[in-house]
Amino acid sequence: MLTPVELEAFKLSLWISLSSVLCNLPIAILIAWLIGRYRFTGRALLDACVHLPLVLPPVVTGYLLLMLLGIHGPIGHWLYTTFQIRLAFTTTGAIIATAVMSFPFMVRAIRLSIEGIPRGLDEAARTLGAGPIDRFFQVTLPLIVPGILAGMITAFAAGLGEFGAVITFASNIPGQTQTLPLALYTALQSPSGDIAAMRIAGLSVLLGFMGLLAGEWMARTLRKHYGTASC
C-alpha cells in the first residue's frame, strides 16, 4: 500500500505527464508538419533545437529553463512583474520542464508518419484546388493519427520518468512538484527508506510496462484498422 505522500506523488506524476502531452500536442504537430513537409532556410537549425533536449543532460535543460523562466530570468521576470505569474518551483513549472524533455519524442513520431505519406496525395489535393491548410486537415491529419497517438504515448511514458529537469526547475516539493522519480530520490536519502523506495520503484516499473503494452496494442490496432481501410 502506498502512503499518502506516495499516492500524492503518483497522482501528480500522472497529472504532470498528461498535461505536458496535451500542451505539446498542437505545437508538436505543427513543427513536425513543417519539418517533414517543407524545405526552408533554417530547417536544420529548427530540427536541431527540437532534438536538443535529447542530447543535453536533463539538469542543464532545467537550469536553462530556470535562467529563462525563473523569477530573475528575462521571461520569468516579465511574467511575474506584469501578471504575477511565477513558473519556477510550481506545478506549472514541473509541467513545462516535463513538456520540454518529452517534446522531441512526440515530434519525431509525428514527423516519421508525415514523411511516410506519399507526396502524390498532397499533390493531387493541390491540383484539385485545396490550399495548404485544407490539405493538412483533409489529407495529412487523418493519415498521421497513428503517429500522433504513438508520440503521445511515448511522451507520456517519458514524462513519468523525468527527473533532472523537474528537480532543477521546479524543485522537490511534496504535493506540488514531487513526482514518483523525485519521491524515490527522497526515499533513498532516508536511512529507513528502503521499503518506500522499493514500492515507488515497483510502481514506476509497472507504469512503464503498462505504457509500453498500451503503445504496442494501439499500434497493432491502428495498423489493422488502416490496413483494412486501405484494402
Prediction pTM value: 0.90
DSSP class of residue 143? H
- Which residues have CB under 8 Å from 147's CB, separation 6+? 109, 110, 111, 112, 113, 114
CA dist., res. 84 & res. 95, Å (int): 18
Q: In 10 A of CB 227, how many CB atoms? A: 9
Q: Is the CA virtual torsion 56, 178, 95, 35 positive or negative? A: positive
Q: Which of 23-32, 55-64, 124-133, 169-178 has the lowest mean pLDDT?
A: 124-133
Q: State phi, psi for 86 to the nearest 5 degrees.
A: -115, 125
What pLDDT digit, counting tens, does each position of 125-152 carry? Answer: 888 777 778 888 888 888 888 889 889 9
4-226: what fold?
MetI-like fold (1.10.3720)
Percent of the chain with pLDDT over 70: 96
pLDDT band at 228 (very low <50, low <70, confident <90, very high): very low
Residues 149 and 131: beta-carbon distance below 8 Å: no
CA dist., res. 187 & res. 152, Å (int): 30
Summarize the confidence of residues 153-162 as an average pLDDT: 91
**Average pLDDT, whole number, for the chain?**
89
Please tell me the predicted confidence (pLDDT) of residue 226: 58
**Closest C-alpha to 2, from 225, 190, 202, 156:** 202
Residues 146 and 222: beta-carbon distance below 8 Å: yes
Q: Is the CA virtual torsion 198, 199, 201, 205 positive or negative? A: positive
Summarize the confidence of residues 89-110 as an average pLDDT: 95
CA dist., res. 149 & res. 27, Å (int): 15
Domain positions in the chain are 4-226
Please tell me the predicted confidence (pLDDT) of residue 216: 76
**What would the grid cell of residue 46 be?**
529548427
Please tell me the predicted confidence (pLDDT) of residue 230: 42
What pLDDT digit, counting tens, does each position of 33-76 carry? Answer: 999 888 889 899 999 999 999 999 999 999 999 999 999 999 99
